[in-house]
Amino acid sequence: MNFAKFTTYTLLILSVHCLNAAEKRIDTTTGLTNLSDYLGYGAIHNQELKAAFYNWQASIAKITRVQGLPDPKFTYVHFIENVETRVGPQKRKYGLMQMFPWFGKLSLKGERALAASKELEQKYEATKLKLFFKIKTLYSEYYYIAKARETTQHNIDLVRYFESVARTKYMAGRAPHSSIIRSQVELGKLEDKLISLQEMQVPIVAQINTILNRNLSQTIPWPKTIPLTKVVFTEHKLEQSLLNNNPRLKALGHMETQRKKSIALAQKRYFPDFTLGVNYVDTAEAKMAGVMDSGKDPMAVTLSINIPLWFSKYGAGVDEATASFHSISHKREQAKSDLTSQLKMSLYRYKDAIRKINLYRDTLIPKGKQSLKVTQQSFEAGKVDFLSLIDAQRVLVQFELMYQKSLAERYKHLAKIEMLIGKNL
């Protein structure tokens, strides 16, 4: 018990130290330039995470409180009429009493409070993992918007070049005026899309600032990269890691421990508590001279025991604690199934995103570029119409956007997997 308390306090002190050190380091930066900055800033400033941390801190302080004895009682009795005795009149009486719970009750309360503290520690960890998942998800979306904006701008420049070619061919009588109109229509669509993407920066930055507890109007630069580190794992190892490390399951495990301690504590109510006391009586000198022990102040020791008489009430308490334990046990088993199914779905989506990344990067985008190049050459040679050129350009744009979307989706689902298994891959 003492070692467990020491470990819990040590973890709390280290957490506070790490938070303070990180805060000093982050505050010296001028802005958020990469994902690590987002995560570091969020870990320090997010209000929900702070609330979870201080809930955990409060539960640690409770461990000592619940193991303490009740406050002692002091009594004072003043006799309105002195009690006459052989050794003299008794004027007043003082008493001091201390109640002692039955053996093991206080230690069980401490063990239950320790389990509750560990539960809140895991809830803090779950809140942190959820926060990091949200940050990574928003970062992925922001990255995709940035890359879609770059791709759209590149294609606007390309269509403008196509328009100049179409205009030159029209002036030479080698292309119809409709080619210029179609290029201008396509250009208008792309410019409208670019405006939408640029304006989307405001709400996505507001969401990021909200979760980081920053002013909503603070700017955040467009992301330039997204983590592409190759991750090697097996589904079996991921499932084992989930069962061993998921903070939600750990928290439910500590709740089970609390319920076990509550059962033991309810069984202890069949045993009495006892109170020890000492009384001191202030006695004046006897009125008659020569009385032996005149004015001697008597002292008395008292013992009182409460009688646990209502067995049906205590039995109901045991039944209540037992039912609560079974409830948490079933909830934990259901959570295992729910989290495992979420892991399987996230793993499927992660693998699907990787498949699409490879498909677009290695096959479709190179073929799309080749098709656009051949179509452009054919258009300039007068072998195909302008509509074929625009179609080839649209297909390539779609491939490039889907490639960037797949990169963002891959990282988003990897972040979900990391949240579920309780650690980074």
In-domain check, residue 84 = no
pLDDT at 404: 94
Percent of the chain with pLDDT over 90: 65
In-domain check, residue 282 = no
Q: What is the CATH number of the domain that holds 30?
A: 1.20.1600.10
pLDDT at 21: 46
In-domain check, residue 77 = no
* pLDDT mean over 394-398: 92
pLDDT at 15: 52
- Whether the pLDDT of residue 6 is over 60: the answer is no
Higher pLDDT, residue 219 or 326: 326
Of 18-32, 33-47, 274-288, which has the strongest mean pLDDT?
A: 33-47
In-domain check, residue 349 = yes
pLDDT at 107: 94
pLDDT at 16: 47
Higher pLDDT, residue 213 or 16: 213
- Whether the pLDDT of residue 422 is over 80: the answer is yes
- The per-residue pLDDT for range 222-270, each reduced to its tens digit, is 998 888 878 888 899 999 999 999 999 999 999 999 999 999 999 999 9
Range of the domain at 380: 2-68+101-271+308-421
What CA–CA distance (Å, rounded) separates 185 from 102? Answer: 87
In-domain check, residue 360 = yes
Number of Cβ atoms within 10 Å of the Cβ of 81: 6
Confidence of residue 115 (pLDDT cuts 50, 70, 90): very high
- Whether the pLDDT of residue 70 is over 80: the answer is yes
Higher pLDDT, residue 231 or 1: 231
- The per-residue pLDDT for range 308-328, each reduced to its tens digit, is 888 999 999 999 999 999 999
Long-range contacts of 267-272 (CB under 8 A, 24+ apart): 267/318, 268/102, 268/104, 268/105, 268/108, 269/308, 269/314, 269/317, 270/308, 270/311, 270/314, 271/102, 271/103, 271/308, 272/102, 272/305, 272/306, 272/307, 272/308
Q: 8-19 burial, b for 16+ CB within 10 Å, e for fewer? A: beeebeeeeeee
| Distance set, CA 180 to CA 165, 185, 205, 383 (Å) | 9, 9, 38, 17
Beta carbons of 208 and 140 less than 8 angstroms apart:
no
Domain count, the chain: 1
- Whether the pLDDT of residue 23 is over 70: the answer is no
- Whether the pLDDT of residue 102 is over 80: the answer is yes
Long-range contacts of 125-131 (CB under 8 A, 24+ apart): 125/247, 125/250, 125/422, 126/247, 126/248, 126/251, 127/48, 127/49, 127/52, 128/43, 128/49, 128/52, 129/247, 129/418, 129/419, 129/422, 130/419, 131/42, 131/43, 131/46, 131/48, 131/49, 131/211
Confidence of residue 1 (pLDDT cuts 50, 70, 90): very low
In-domain check, residue 319 = yes
Average pLDDT along the chain: 88
- Element (DSSP H or E) covering residue 43: helix 35-45
- Element (DSSP H or E) covering residue 147: helix 105-171
What pTM was computed for the model? 0.83
The token pair at 202 is 């405001």
The token pair at 5 is 């308390």
* pLDDT mean over 17-25: 47
What CA–CA distance (Å, rounded) separates 63 from 109? Answer: 8
* pLDDT mean over 355-384: 91
- Whether the pLDDT of residue 281 is over 60: the answer is yes
Higher pLDDT, residue 389 or 139: 139
- The per-residue pLDDT for range 187-210, each reduced to its tens digit, is 898 999 999 999 999 999 999 999
- The pair phi, psi for residue 154, each rounded to 5°, is -60, -40
- The per-residue pLDDT for range 162-182, each reduced to its tens digit, is 888 778 777 877 767 777 888
In-domain check, residue 257 = yes
- Element (DSSP H or E) covering residue 75: strand 73-83
Least confident of 42-51, 77-86, 204-213, 314-323: 77-86
Confidence of residue 360 (pLDDT cuts 50, 70, 90): very high
pLDDT at 350: 95
In-domain check, residue 364 = yes
- Whether the pLDDT of residue 149 is over 70: the answer is yes
* pLDDT mean over 283-300: 77
